[in-house]
A and B are shown apart, each in its own frame.
Chain A
Amino acid sequence: MSALNIKKGSTSHSAYDLRDSHSEVEESHTLAVIVENEPGVLARVIGLFSGRGYNIDSLTVAEVDHTGHRSRITVVTRGTPAVIDQIEAQLSRMVPVYEVHDLTAEGPSVQRELALIKVSGRGEPRIEALRLAEIFRASVVDSTLDSFVFEMTGTPAKIDAFAELMRPLGLKEIARTGVAAMSRGA
């Protein structure tokens, strides 16, 4: 119909040309956002997500460069490819935001989370909990005669699995840091 020699939708605006930006399937993406470490910057980023109706599955923030006043926010979000692209664009145009990396799209990355898990009990369940902790490479950071606090790091899925196993063995409390993530390679 058109004389224009172009396939509609063939030029994606992002670096991830292989992705189908028309897909309606929601994906989980991990974003690393490098921001100026200033009062209110976290509120600004969170406000963007709540104000525009985006999801936050996990969020961590800490200063990573004291002299340069840089903090790193790692946020795990869900959305269609178009929404993910929009989130990235909305973040990158914010004044105190220096860099935005979509670690999920940019290539392989490592994701780790730390959890503290309190399990109480005596007798066989207690021994079973300790045995499982060993398998999961969780270490005991506090112990009483009827409780343990395990510390473990791993992917969110690994922590989920461990917590699920602890549930019938006397799981009392769980504290998780949220995901820290980094791309693999140099």
Chain B
Amino acid sequence: MTRQMTGARMVVQALKDQGVEVVFGYPGGAVLPIYDEIFQQNDIRHVLVRHEQGAVHMAEGYARSTGKVGVALVTSGPGATNAVTGLTDALMDSIPILVLTGQVPTFMIGTDGFQEADTVGITRPCTKMNWLVKDTAKLSETIHQAFHVARAGRPGPVLVDIPKDVQFATAEYVRPEKTRTDHYMPRVKGDIDRITRLVELIETAERPIFYTGGGVINSGRAASQLLRELVDATGFPVTSTLMGLGAYPASGKSWLGMLGMHGLYEANLAMHGCDLMINVGARFDDRITGRVKDFSPRSVKAHIDIDPSSINKVIHVDVPILGDVGHVLEDALKIWKARGRKVNREALPKWWAQINEWRRMNSLAYAPSKATIKPQYALERLEALTRGRDRYITTEVGQHQMWAAQFLHFDEPNRWMTSGGLGTMGYGLPASIGVQVAHPDALVINVAGEASWLMNMQEMGTAMQFRAPVKQFILNNERLGMVRQWQELLHGERYSSSWSESLPDFVKLAEAFGCKGIQCTDPKTLDDAILEMLAYDGPVIFDCRVEKHENCFPMIPSGRPHNEMLLSADAEAFKSGAVLV
């Protein structure tokens, strides 16, 4: 049976056939035919954003919290260029999203037409793949292929650019199952000999550690389950990157906490001192490795990754295993069990004793205050008052993000949405809306800094319009906190442009948007204020006035190895030039 339809209708039909329920977008001249089709149906919900960057971050939040592909729809020219930051963010963090862009009609391409931009040219380096569709007959297949590419292998953002005349023209619709996708099929099964080698190493290692990343979460819930099983059965310690939080539960007995530049002392020293490092879906990012030359110098390294270019890119590994984390862990568990579930029972207790000694350093300690709200305290209270709830957390970028990673605990995957690789200030608010749209009844909190939050605050309008009761928990220190911290520690305390002046009154701002505003300045009233936020049925902007000069510790200054970590007490000595620990 052939089905003739316009390109615009094809877009909507293809989205429906791909199981899309919601599209985040903003209309404009070059996508009007698609918007006309969206108007005439009820299966797909359209969330009107206030800025295209917001649409892409919402799609990211939606994708990361559901495991499905998030979809954004924007117009040509400025609509497309505004999507670039979100696309780059999704590429760095391997988030599957599809961005549909309108384009000037094919006969106008190249004439510098109104709202024309070379969208596929601009977005080529910031998408996993992109397409300009010049023929309606190829449109539906291209969209289906785009979904496949976004999901398959290492997930990522894709973009389909659709000229306006292609939207108007009519052709035959091709269903997803008739679409050719076999040209892109990354290998998911790992090499069995290599996996066996890994198991042999697991059996004899004296000081092993699992170093897990976002790949575990991208691989799906089964991968997280398999990781838990393997970690718990072997009794090995496990740490995670920022992107991987929740894959292994923070309440689990083998959990060391996050590693990296602001990771926990015990996690970083265990990485430095281990004799077997098992990297599961992480990529040796520079925020993790510090100085590459001195990274975990005495360990044998295994690396499970689906992306061949992640292996040996930064750190040379001894046992590379190319494949999907879930498949490889499943095989590893099978082989390890079949060989008798062996681990080095003599050495492991000594290793744990060493780790527990490091733990006693209590690297997240901070000086409490009765007068001002310490940001760490605010997050401890937020954690305590929301524990056990159906909770999703997004963040902006900066100190608050690192504190959130340190002080909030995640027991499940897909509960933590943050901009890791690109470090996009302005990510958290729109991402929280995307999460809330996917999980209407859940508690969704964006832990923010006031500076980041202002970057996309227009999206509060979206939250109001679509009744997304997102809680904006702003740790307001009237500073660009992380910039200020680096200036204090590394730039002679010259605070160049790192304070937030002329800030809005956040409570009045909330009122202006029609939502609830809460300000809290006193640690004694903080609990009540947080409970008030949680109780309110609707969006809240929470202006939490925190200590202005708090620094985020531990900290490995960039370019230093893991064992040269700064703890809060060391900071003064560091400024005077000493190298510590």
Interface residues of A (CB under 8 A from B): 1-6, 8-11, 13, 21-22, 36, 39-40, 43-44, 47, 51, 82, 85-86, 89-90, 92-93, 95-96, 98
User: Closest Cβ of chain A: how far from B320's Cβ, in Å?
Assistant: 4
Cα–Cα distance between A140 and B446 once the two chains are bound (Å): 73
User: Closest Cβ of chain A: how far from B38's Cβ, in Å?
Assistant: 28
Cα–Cα distance between A13 and B312 once the two chains are bound (Å): 8
Q: Answer whether A95 and B184 are a contact pair too, CB < 8 Å, given A1-B298, A4-B276, A85-B312.
A: yes
Contact between chains at A3 and B344 (CB < 8 Å):
yes
Q: Answer whether A11 and B320 are a contact pair too, CB < 8 Å, given A2-B275, A82-B312, A85-B312.
A: yes
Contact between chains at A43 and B204 (CB < 8 Å):
no
Q: A8-B318, A40-B124, A96-B129 are in contact. List 9 more A-B contacts (CB 8 A).
A: A3-B275, A4-B276, A10-B318, A13-B322, A21-B312, A40-B121, A89-B313, A92-B308, A98-B183
Q: Answer whether A86 and B309 are a contact pair too, CB < 8 Å, given A2-B300, A3-B275.
A: yes
* B120 (CB) vs chain A CBs: closest residue: A40
Residues of B within 8 A of A8 (CB): 300, 318
Q: Does B222 contact A (CB under 8 A)?
A: no
Contact between chains at A93 and B312 (CB < 8 Å):
no
Cα–Cα distance between A5 and B275 once the two chains are bound (Å): 11
Cα–Cα distance between A22 and B312 once the two chains are bound (Å): 11
Contact among A5, A40, A44 for B204, CB-based, below 8 A: A5
Cα–Cα distance between A13 and B194 once the two chains are bound (Å): 10
* B316 (CB) vs chain A CBs: closest residue: A9
Residues of B within 8 A of A39 (CB): 132
* Residue total for B at the interface (Cβ-Cβ under 8 A): 38
Contact between chains at A90 and B129 (CB < 8 Å):
no
Residues of A within 8 A of B259 (CB): none
**Chain B 188-206: CB-based contact to A (< 8 A → 1; otherwise 0):** 0000000001000100111
Contact among B121, B201, B298, B318 for A43, CB-based, below 8 A: B121
Q: Does B483 contact A (CB under 8 A)?
A: no
**Chain B 309-324: CB-based contact to A (< 8 A → 1; otherwise 0):** 1011100111110100
Residues of B within 8 A of A4 (CB): 201, 204-206, 275-276, 300
Residues of A within 8 A of B298 (CB): 1-2
Contact between chains at A93 and B309 (CB < 8 Å):
yes
Contact between chains at A2 and B206 (CB < 8 Å):
yes
**Chain B 211-242: CB-based contact to A (< 8 A → 1; otherwise 0):** 00000000000000000000000000000000
What are some 27 contacts across the A-B interface (CB < 8 A)?
A: A1-B298, A2-B298, A2-B299, A2-B300, A3-B205, A3-B344, A4-B276, A5-B204, A6-B201, A6-B300, A6-B318, A8-B318, A9-B318, A10-B318, A11-B320, A13-B317, A40-B130, A82-B312, A82-B316, A89-B308, A90-B309, A93-B153, A93-B154, A93-B186, A95-B128, A95-B129, A95-B149
Q: Answer whether A93 and B308 are a contact pair too, CB < 8 Å, given A2-B206, A40-B124, A86-B313.
A: yes
**Chain B 481-514: CB-based contact to A (< 8 A → 1; otherwise 0):** 0000000000000000000000000000000000
Cα–Cα distance between A9 and B344 once the two chains are bound (Å): 23
Contact between chains at B129 and A11 (CB < 8 Å):
no
Contact between chains at A21 and B184 (CB < 8 Å):
no
Cα–Cα distance between A1 and B205 once the two chains are bound (Å): 12
Residues of A within 8 A of B113 (CB): none
Residues of A within 8 A of B128 (CB): 95
* B154 (CB) vs chain A CBs: closest residue: A93
Q: Does B125 contact A (CB under 8 A)?
A: yes
Cα–Cα distance between A98 and B184 once the two chains are bound (Å): 8
Contact between chains at A89 and B311 (CB < 8 Å):
yes
Cα–Cα distance between A139 and B546 once the two chains are bound (Å): 81
